[in-house]
Amino acid sequence: MLWNYQDLRTFTAHDVSGASSAPLDSGRWLTLGQACRLLNVDESTLRRWADAGQVRTFRTPGGHRRFAEGDVREIMLGRSRQAPYTDVGDLATKRIRRQLTRGHEDWYAHVDPAQREKLRPLGRRLMGLVAAYVARRGRRAALLEEARTTGAEYGLELARAGISLTQAMRGFTFFRRSLDQSAKQALAKTGTPAAASIDVCEQIMVLADEVLLGIACAYDAALPAADANRHRNGRADDG
């Protein structure tokens, strides 16, 4: 939820602190850096949460975001209750970025810079879906449907970039492996019982399967168009 400066002037201290039982300074709003340090997340993660309405924000006349301390502390409490589930997406994002930066993935080398820019927001959306799904936030059927839709958008962008289906599958297995390893890391760090750990990993695989089906559907849709183009080009050559 985005508040403008005029809204803030009429916003009461009760409105800010009422959402949290923690003692708060009346009407306290935090800078991006302050909120990130409290939550121990990077700036892009907090911006994503704000855009999704999880944290009330407003912009100063200078264009800087301020975050409601009450909402930030509510997230802190929720993260402590739901940890390590909400950490999986963040850990996977960092792992994926690290591996791609090191150039260990051949399939990614075939994606040009313009296509990479289109893929990045889809990747962030997938990480958000993973965190919401394993933490049981929202309707699971809707989250699975969104995962398949996002997978289809990802597959379409890969097909447009000329990435073969084999290379696309390598990209998917890289994504799924990163999720699995990140989940195990987060679960081990907090000493999560074995039964709960297995349940989380199974949930991630269910979501990943929907992403895979979405990618496959995108390539199924792209193949007839590619065949038609080859047919037209062949006829033109014959002429």
Could you report the per-residue pLDDT of 63-118, keeping only the tens digit for each? 888 988 888 887 776 554 455 566 777 788 888 888 888 877 888 888 888 888 88
The pLDDT of residue 211: 96
Residue 109: Cβ-neighbour burial (10 angstroms; 0-12, 13-18, 19+) = exposed
> Cα(93)–Cα(124) distance, rounded to whole angstroms?
8
Q: Which of 30, 60, 79 is the last residue of a domain?
A: 79
The pLDDT of residue 26: 36
The pTM (predicted TM-score) of the whole model is: 0.59
Which amino acid, 211? V
Examine the domain organization and report whether 134 and 230 are in the same domain. yes
Could you report the per-residue pLDDT of 204-221, keeping only the tens digit for each? 999 999 999 999 999 998
> Cα(210)–Cα(144) distance, rounded to whole angstroms?
6
> By mean pLDDT, which of 21-30, 166-175, 216-225 is the weakest?
21-30
Examine the domain organization and report whether 172 and 98 are in the same domain. yes
> Cα(140)–Cα(130) distance, rounded to whole angstroms?
11
> Cα(221)–Cα(214) distance, rounded to whole angstroms?
11
Nearby residues of 195 by Cβ (< 8 Å), 6 or more positions away: none
Examine the domain organization and report whether 216 and 132 are in the same domain. yes
Q: How far is CA 215 from CA 102, 140, 159, 227, in A?
A: 25, 20, 9, 19
Q: Is 29 helix (H, G, I), strand (E, B) or coil?
A: strand
> Cα(159)–Cα(176) distance, rounded to whole angstroms?
19
Q: Which of 43, 62, 79 is the last residue of a domain?
A: 79
Structural domain range at position 231: 83-238
Sheet holding 65-68, edge to edge: 2-3, 57-59, 65-68, 29-31
Examine the domain organization and report whether 66 and 99 are in the same domain. no
> Cα(57)–Cα(41) distance, rounded to whole angstroms?
17
Phi, psi values for residue 29, rounded to 5°: -125, 145
Q: Which of 31, 46, 79 is the last residue of a domain?
A: 79
